[in-house]
Amino acid sequence: MIHRTRRATPKDADVAQALIGAALADYGIVFEPDGRDADVRLFGVRADHDDFVATIDDEPVGVVSVGPHGDEGVAWVSKLFVARHARRAGVGRSLLRTAHDAARARGYRRIGLRTRVVFREAIALYESEGYRAVTRDPAVLESGDLVFLRDL
Ligand SMILES: CC(C)(COP(=O)(O)OP(=O)(O)OC[C@H]1O[C@@H](n2cnc3c(N)ncnc32)[C@H](O)[C@@H]1OP(=O)(O)O)[C@@H](O)C(=O)NCCC(=O)NCCS
């Protein structure tokens, strides 16, 4: 499967919403685009973020977002999701590397992300890309979240 990666536009918020909703449902996680997860509506919109869509034959199969997170010099990856039927073909790694390149181009020196312990495939990907878990906070670990960081 040959995939391409393009920059997202505001029209891709629906794409992100559909891909993320479907993936989270697989894990039994409730997705709330009208509530807690409302920032999905900003996919492809924010000037201080670089958002990308991966496609196969023009069909969107994956998304990723990278942008600021409060710590100067540290970019934050979010919304890395690949449609189930397109997984394990290199799309996720390619999206993540595209996010790294975009963050480097904006001058970031480090990059991080928050994920959940149940996202085992994602954790394997992050570790294989040099990310290391930094969370030691019991409250955070108890919530099932993990924070990963690496240099760019
Ligand atoms: C994580 C995710 C984005 C990976 O996308 P993908 O296109 O399948 O990833 P790739 O094909 O590029 O795989 C990259 C690496 O991830 C790891 N990986 C992916 N799927 C895996 C699996 N089922 N088991 C073990 N490792 C896996 C491997 O290290 C793999 O490298 P390899 O194929 O050379 O062994 C995808 O599985 C997904 O959308 N998962 C659900 C959503 C999610 O967890 N998102 C992260 C939220 S923070």
The one-digit pLDDT tens for each residue of the chain (152 residues) are: 799 999 999 999 999 999 999 999 999 999 999 998 999 999 999 999 999 999 999 999 999 999 999 888 999 999 999 999 999 999 999 999 999 999 999 999 999 999 998 899 999 999 999 999 986 666 655 667 899 999 99
CA of 125 to the centre of ligand 1 (A): 5
Give whole-number Cα distances, 130 to 21, 63, 72, 77, 148, in Å. 28, 20, 21, 14, 9
What's the domain range around 78?
4-151
Q: Which residue in 88, 89, 83, 43 sits closest to 66, CA to CA?
A: 43
Q: Structural domain tally of the chain?
A: 1
Residue nearest to atom 15 of ligand 1 (CA): 125
User: Which CATH number goes with the domain that contains 83?
Assistant: 3.40.630.30
Which residues are CB-contacts of 101 (< 8 A; sequence separation ≥ 6)? none
Residue nearest to atom 26 of ligand 1 (CA): 121
Residue nearest to atom 10 of ligand 1 (CA): 90
Give whole-number Cα distances, 76 to 72, 95, 132, 148, 150, in Å. 11, 14, 14, 10, 11
Best probe residue, ligand 1, of 78, 113, 125, 146 (max atoms within 8 Å of C-beta)? 125
Q: Is 23 in the pocket of ligand 1 (CB under 6 A)?
A: yes
Give me Rg for the CA atoms of the chain. Answer: 15
Q: Is 131 in the pocket of ligand 1 (CB under 6 A)?
A: no
pTM attached to this predicted model: 0.95
